[in-house]
Amino acid sequence: MEVYNYLKSLHLIFVITWFAGLFYIVRLFVYQIEANDKPSPEKEILQKQYKIMTYRLWYIITWPSAVLASIFAFWMLFFTPTGNAWLQMPWMHVKLGFVFVLYLYHYKCHKIYKELQNDEVKYTTNFMRLWNEGATIILFAVVFLVILKNAVNWIYGVVGIMLFSILIMLGFKFYKRIREKNNS
């Protein structure tokens, strides 16, 4: 049991740093896209700095955290007696589904990262601000599943997440209006 608690602690630490990286990288994407509209030489200076910052965040914090969180999770699930018991629980299957969605989100962020590193701006800052909420929704879903350990009530959780998403969208629209008024 002692080894399991160390593994769980390490897993949680790297999940936290992984999410921190995902939250911050998308904010940096917003700044990179905004910098693209600046006049020279400000544009070039900002783009160069944001490319360095995103590179370091992505490859020194976010990717290693994702890999280490996964290694410790697999270790707990497949090489400890407690993990084998968790794999039999329906809530864990739902959680692993959300983790799969998190990997897809991470992969899409990686594609956006590579595009921006190559000066390809395909998305608006508004899209990026909404995209940033994707990780938040996944985080909420996983935390509630882990704490409540009830896959039957995951339907309520999904409804709650949808309502939370609507609140985020409304908050985003409200914030956008305030920004537009302040910029006028």
Q: Is 11 annotated as a binding residue?
A: yes
d(CA 120, CA 116): 5
- List the Cα angle 88/94/100 in 5-degree steps: 115
| Rg (the chain; Cα; Å) | 19
**Per-residue pLDDT reduced to its tens digit, 23-58:** 999 999 999 999 999 999 999 999 999 999 999 999
Average pLDDT estimate for 3-10: 92
Closest CA to 70 of 14, 147, 149: 14
Express each pLDDT in 95-116 by its tens digit: 899 999 999 999 999 999 999 9
Q: Which helix (H) or strand (E) holds 62?
A: none
**What pLDDT, on the 0 to 100 scale, is given for residue 152?**
58
Query: Measured between alpha carbons, how far is 127 from 121 in angstroms, rounded to an integer?
Result: 12
> So what's the pLDDT on residue 154?
63
Interatomic CA distance for residues 56 and 9, integer angstroms: 25
pLDDT of amino acid 156: 72
Q: What's this model's pTM, rounded to 2 decimal places?
A: 0.84
Structure tokens at 177: 């209006």
Backbone angles phi, psi at 168, to 5 degrees: -60, -45
Higher pLDDT, 19 or 149: 19
* Domain residue limits at 22: 2-183
Give the model confidence (pLDDT) of 113-132 as tens digits: 999 999 999 999 989 988 99
Contacts of 47 (CB under 8 A, 6+ apart): 32, 35, 36, 119
Of 171, 143, 174, nearest to 157 by C-alpha is 143
Q: Map tokens 């006049």 to a residue.
A: 39
Q: What is the residue type of 136?
A: T
Q: State the pLDDT at residue 151.
A: 58
Task: Note whether 23 and 132 are within 8 A (CB).
Answer: yes
b/e per residue 115-124 (b: at least 16 CB within 10 A): ebeeeebebe
| Structural domains in the chain (count) | 1
